Amino acid sequence: MASPPAKNENLRRTGPLKAGHYCGVMGAFGIPNAGDFIFNGLYSLQHRGQESAGIAISDGEKIQSLKGLGLLSEAIAPEDVDKLRGKIGIGHVRYSTTGTKRVQNIQPLVIEYSRGIVAIGHNGNLTNAQKLRNAFEARGSIFQTSTDSEIIVHLLADPEHIENKDPLASALEHVEGAYSAVLMDARNLYAFRDPYGWRPLSIGKLGDGYVVASETCAFDLLGARFVRDVRPGEIVRFSSEGVESSQFAEPQKHKRAQCIFEHVYFARPDSILFGETVHEVRVRLGERLALDAPAEADAVISVPHSGDPAALGFSRRSGLPLEQGFISNKYVGRTFITPTQKGRCERVELKLNVVREVVEGKRLVVVDDSIVRGTTCRGRLDMLRQMGAKELHMRVSAPPVRNPCFFGIDFPTREELIAAHRSDEEIRKFLGVDTLAYQSTEGLLAAVNGAHDEYCLACFTGDYPIAISDCMDKNAFENRCRV
């Protein structure tokens, strides 16, 4: 595993209060009214991105698209989707991990080049995007966006690759980092993953057609049957000739690095991820916590909703009753999108309310999935104290987050990560709890059934699967930082 670069303390990563989601992608081939199909499916992936949404549809001759900022319901009107006719399409919900929140960066990107018009939706981060973009611009290439996803299209149009028997495979050989993506032209749909398999991407079947999505929960909503995951380093082509698969990278040359934080926090509990149901993994994480870090208490409560399955597991294994200590207002947006600390605190108060009867005079085990900056967590714990909690025992189903991610999670800078520069005891005092215990990396890996060396734990351990440039700023293309 590669260690972080010597300048790791200065790596520029801007991020939200809690770990930010990356993106969600969808694709459909041979599906009547593909626009309606993708539009509905994107609702199942909304948790992966709330900044913008877009749909691109082909009728076999031309590609039309709809895009907008905000949630899917704000970005695209259903009556406009009805006007998109075609059986091929892709969709995207975005949380920016490269490039700012502006209209030009909304995906799918629809770009025309010498071979026609293509659209692409991408989940992940390309770690060599700066180097590639600098090279293209030095040759006179013009970029329409400040997102790394556009790099793939420029590679696809490059003379070095365009004459290749398989231009997409040739182009992807030059890309480094994390990408699970869907790409379409007027008549074909392509789905592909990076050789390390960081981000999930699955294939489903519906009648005579196929669907691709970041998570299988989208298949359930649409009535599609899960078939399999797109393999790391694989390109799957859906066309009138059928389904074709090819490997652009040999698996044995790349060690898998599936993002374990998908299981901890990002993916929906009802999705099958890397071969396992997310809910079951999270329950096992809670059970392991109860074994490794028990507490004498009256009840277990979760921080909704990310801590719910782990709290259930802790309750089952410890024998302590599971109570609902917080009531959440589901109509208040996520706190991490609020730019100021004052605004974040106000959002926390609006989002959650404490059930006094559950809390007052009780010794409570409070279970959450992770602690990033710690400010939101402390605010919630303060609410429990104010409502009369006698003791608070904080249990976290993931290990301490000590390092930034460069593969699609928008963690804050290392300086802002509370566990990067404080001991567990210092964090306990900061949070104001009686005891604090994190999941161990051994406990984290024990909760998944797959091979333990196939997961990326870099945000916990600092061991990065590939070397990282010291110029990894999500706004680098606006700042024009050079490597």
pLDDT class of 9 with cuts at 50, 70, 90: very low
Question: Is the torsion defined by CA of 451, 456, 457, 458 positive or negative?
Answer: positive
pLDDT of residue 255: 86
pLDDT of residue 13: 41
Q: Residue 472 pLDDT more than 90? A: no
The token pair at 55 is 């749909």
Instruction: Tell me if 352 sits within 8 A of 302, measured CB to CB.
Output: no
- pLDDT tens-digit series, residues 416-445: 899 999 999 999 999 999 999 999 999 999
pLDDT of residue 35: 97
Query: What domains, with CATH codes, occur in the chain?
Result: 8-257 (3.60.20.10), 280-329+338-403+413-449 (3.40.50.2020)
Instruction: Tell me if 59 sits within 8 A of 412, measured CB to CB.
Output: no
pLDDT of residue 289: 98
* Cis, bond preceding 122 (omega within 30 deg of 0): no
- pLDDT tens-digit series, residues 108-158: 999 999 999 999 999 999 999 999 999 999 999 999 998 999 999 999 999
Instruction: Tell me if 416 sits within 8 A of 402, measured CB to CB.
Output: no
What interhelical angle do 150-157 and 129-138 show, nearest 10?
Answer: 50
Catalytic residues: 23
> What is the radius of gyration, based on Cα positions, of the chain?
22
Span 259-282, mean pLDDT? 96
